[in-house]
Amino acid sequence: MVKNSVIGFTTGFSYPFRAGHFLISNPRLILYVLIPFLINTIVFAGAVWFGLDFFSDTVTQMIPQGDAWYWAVLYYFLWVIAVVATALLFFFLFAVVGNLLAAPFNDLLSEKTELLLTGRQKEEPFRLGKFLKDSLHILLDDMLKIAVFIVGMLVLFVLLLLPAVGPAFYSLLSIVWTALFLVIEYTGFIFARRNQKFSDQRQFIRQRKMASLGFGIGSLCLLAIPFLQFFTIPLGVVGAVHFWYDSTQIKITGGPDAA
C-alpha cells in the first residue's frame, strides 16, 4: 500500500503515459484506438476553428480601449488574459466533447484492456444490438456527467470577473475540476460494466485522492502535447484500467487517509 501522497500522485500521473507502451505491446487493441483517434482529430480541428473565431469576433470586442497610454497597457494586459481564458475554455470543451462522442468505443477499449490484464475471457460474443443498447446508455450517462461539468465551469467562469486574481483562480480551479472530470470519465467504464453505482466510483476516487488527481493531471498534460493530444482519450481509457487494476490488486491508494 502506497502511503506517501507524493508517490501516489506521481504513480497516478504516470498511468496515461504508461498506457502507450501497453498499446504498442498489444497491437490487437489498435482497432479500438483508431475510431476515437479520428473523432478526437475532428473535434480538435473544430475546437481550434471555433476558438479562433470566437476570440477574434467576440472576445476582442469586449476589451475596452482609449487614447491614453495607460489604456494601451491595459488593453494588452486584458488581451493576454482573454487569450488564456479563451484557450482554456475551448481546451476543456475539446476534452469533454471528444470523450462524449467516443464513449461507446472507449467502453470496448476499456473492456478489452481489462481482459488482457486479468487474463479472463469474455463470456458472451459481440452482438450489434447489445452494443447499440449499451452505447445509448453510455451516451446518456456521459451527457449527465458533462452537464454537471459544464455547470461547474460556468460557476468558475464568474471568477474571470474578479480583477487581478480572478483569472489566476479560474485557471487553477478549472484545471482541478477538469482533472476530476477525466478521472470520473475514464474509470466510469469499469464501474458501469459491473453495474456499480456512482457512489462506489466516488468512494474509489476518494480513497485515492492524490493518485486520482495525478491521473487527471497526467491526462490533461497529454492534451497539451502536440500530436499526442489526439491519443489522449484511448491513453486515458487504458491508463484508467491499469489504475483500477493496480489499486484493487496491490492497493495503490496515494494517501494516508485511504482505506
Residue 13 burial by CB count (10 A; 0-12/13-18/19+): exposed, middle or buried? buried
Question: Cα–chain-centroid distance for residue 179?
Answer: 6
C-alpha cell at 103: 464513449
Coil vs helix vs strand at 194: coil
Q: Is the pLDDT of residue 142 over 70?
A: no
Please state, in angstroms and rounded to a whole number, the distance separating the CA atoms of residues 201 and 199.
5
pLDDT in tens, 69-113: 656 666 666 666 666 666 666 666 666 666 667 777 888 899 899
Please state, in angstroms and rounded to a whole number, the distance separating the CA atoms of residues 32 and 240.
15
pTM summary value:
0.70
Top mean-pLDDT range of 11-20, 89-98, 199-208: 11-20
pLDDT in tens, 25-68: 998 888 888 877 777 677 777 766 766 666 666 555 655 555 65
Please state, in angstroms and rounded to a whole number, the distance separating the CA atoms of residues 67 and 78.
16
Please state, in angstroms and rounded to a whole number, the distance separating the CA atoms of residues 241 and 227.
23
C-alpha cell at 147: 452537464
Calculate what percentage of the chain has a pLDDT beyond 70: 64
Strand runs (DSSP E) across the chain, as ranges?
Answer: none
Write the CA distances from 105 to 40, 130, 168, 189, 206, integer angstroms. 12, 13, 36, 11, 27
